[in-house]
Structure 1
Amino acid sequence: MRTQVAIIGAGPAGLTLGRLLECAGIDAVILERRSAGHVLSRIRAGVLEQGSADLLERIGVGGRMRREGIPHDGVELSFDGDMLRIDFHGLIGRKVMIYGQTEVTRDLMDARNASGARTIYEAEDVSLHDVRGGAPRVRFVKDGGLHEITCDFIAGCDGFHGITRASVPDKAIRTFERVYPFGWLGVLVDKPPVADELIYAHHERGFALCSMRSHTRSRYYVQVDAGETVDAWPDERFWDELRRRLNPEIAERLQTGPSIEKSIAPLRSFVAEPLRFGRLFLAGDAAHIVPPTGAKGLNMALRDVGILAEALVEHYEAKSDAGIDAYSQRVLAHTWKTERFSWWMTSLLHTFPETGRFGRRIQRAEFDYLASSRSAQESLAENYTGLPDA
């Protein structure tokens, strides 16, 4: 099999890259080790930066998002029950869109199926060959048979545990990581959201988040120790703990019900450098991980593949490799700024036992400064809704 670009991973990063290349007339094959149904079963983020929403519109997959998504002009922050609204639209004229990653993935899959572009699911034992040469190859097993794709470039969009970054020799890559001593216990419930906008809450018992997937489906989180298990958190215990961490008036409005999904997500920050190795490029979670506090993971992935697609189009249409040569530096410049913002929000909103009473007073001072400073609020709004390209 021959193609111009082999994309490893059929999550939103790989599917968006495939769609961008398809729109530019560049042939690409997507390989995914899981089934399409498994990919769609993943429960992930639901906040799109304005630039991400604009990108999906531009490639023709924004129709359902436009109809069913929920635009948000701001978010609420809470510290020990004290509330502060950050008015994105009033401060900087921007907003975000609430639309689940599962729905983004479904829309991209539907568009790819409609166009007949090639996606190979349940591709096993994927391996990369000659990525630093002129004719990269991808081998995989499908239905018991060995197959090979020859291509010009390989895009690694296969996540943190994928094969593409693991295929890079250790001496050729550096990694930077921080693992936090807690995770987010998340519950999905078919009840209306407790508020019209997201609420990020700091409490002495730990962080909490009130989010949503639609007008009738809500997503809630509480901070738990890293060693906690889902089995230790029956629904009643979760709802009781969430109420304790919220402003009393908000807690009173909370509508509870049986969870339809419950999981614990560990928190980590991770960056790999560089992101290009000959004709192999890393994008999305294969390249970097952020804590979910600032809702950045999906948005970073979409930005990465937007930059990569632009570079590949330049290669094929303008016969220039300037964009390819600048890919890693350009993505990493934005990545580290986003890592900083996610670290800052995580540091403000979570409890860190090792920092003690002094640490909590510093967090309170940070919250009070944010409440008193328009410039600080503008900075938060700019980062949350999406920084411009570096």
Structure 2
Amino acid sequence: MTETFAVEQRRKLVTSLPGPNSVALQRRREKSVSRGAGTLANIYMDHGAGAILVDVDGNQLIDLGCGIGVTTIGHANPAVVTAAAEQAAKLTHTLFTVTPYENYVRVAEKLAEITPGDFEKRSILVNSGAEAVENAVKIARKYTGRRVILSLDHAFHGRTNLTMAMTYRPWPERAGMGPFPGDLFSVPVSYPFRDGLSGADAAERTIDYIRTHIGASEVAAFFVEPIQGDGGIVIPAPGFFARIKEFCEENGIVFVADEIQAGIARTGAWYSIEHHGVVPDLVTSAKGIAGGFPLAAVTGRAEIMDAVQPGGIGGTFGGNPVSTAAALATFEEIESKNLIAEAQRVERALLARIGDWAERFDIVGEVRGKGAMFGVELVRPGTREPNPEALHTVLTHATANGVIPLDAGSWDSVLRLLPSVVISEELIDDAAGVLEEGLAKAQG
């Protein structure tokens, strides 16, 4: 796409990384910030625009992570900045459940429009993805009168006590954090690279597990990520979710699409469940919804959302006036600039540039993705055994050379790419070259 940005869209290094100012800030951080808040790279950022971040030493880095999928429409999008600033000058807080305001209503109206399904919908706005998932659990339990919650193997649903327990991997998110709530179960997912099953066969395996280990009549809700993010950009085989949704309908189970990472135009559709041709009962949104401001939502069938008594859901800062103004500007940017089509362009560019890596590198097992959401699964040569050491080498090389990708996967062996949908082909090519150097180094 042709667009002018406040920062030139190119990688530029003026110091080694991390630079001296970042090193100084890291020393200060170690004396004041909990080590539990770990980071991928101790490179401190000052500003950014589009797909470029500028650190405190003046280095320009290509951002392939977007703060884990948040700045989908680019860093410091001018329309979002203006909308937030104008709203902040008018009203920053009243609490919607005390004295409401129009922005909240407008965001809910827009979510009813863009989420899948032509039925009547309602929404609640909260602060974070984990909070959205937690509220969706409460809503589903209230509606069904049941307690059991299902999630898929390799899932990530958050870091609160409840959502940690719904998250598959024990390290680092859950280690030493228990006890956790009960009535939460992880069930098999379709993982084509590892199980080789068709979507239909994988679904029947999942359903059999539920029937024999849990009991369908006990289940309130089934939470799924249509494309698993932290799990390694796992895209279930065609037909998997169609059969799972059918099973949920047959057994009175609320089917919840957790779209916190993959939603809001990132995958070339408003929501990634659309690629599977399935309409969920509830949808959780967050991350990319407000262009960098904290906001999340639960949206779904009116009869389910309205099952909760007034005061049963909510929170002090949920649907904050500034964040909702930013969200409305984000929606407008996506539509006016056709950023869903731009996500599709990014997919084509990534496939053209890195789609052959499995043929070119013995340590690449598979390249997969949709839109601006890709994963590169790293393996030990000649096997499908995970290769976390290779991923560490690639990430270290990339961040030292001005490219910020992400890690993923239950075995820490998937290179995750979540660029902005406004990234250029030139930046994709440059970043891919740096990553290829890292792959060659890891391969030895």
TM-score class, shorter: under 0.3
The alignment's TM-score, normalised by the length of structure 1, stands at 0.26
The alignment's TM-score, normalised by the length of structure 2, stands at 0.24
Greater strand fraction, Structure 1 or Structure 2:
1
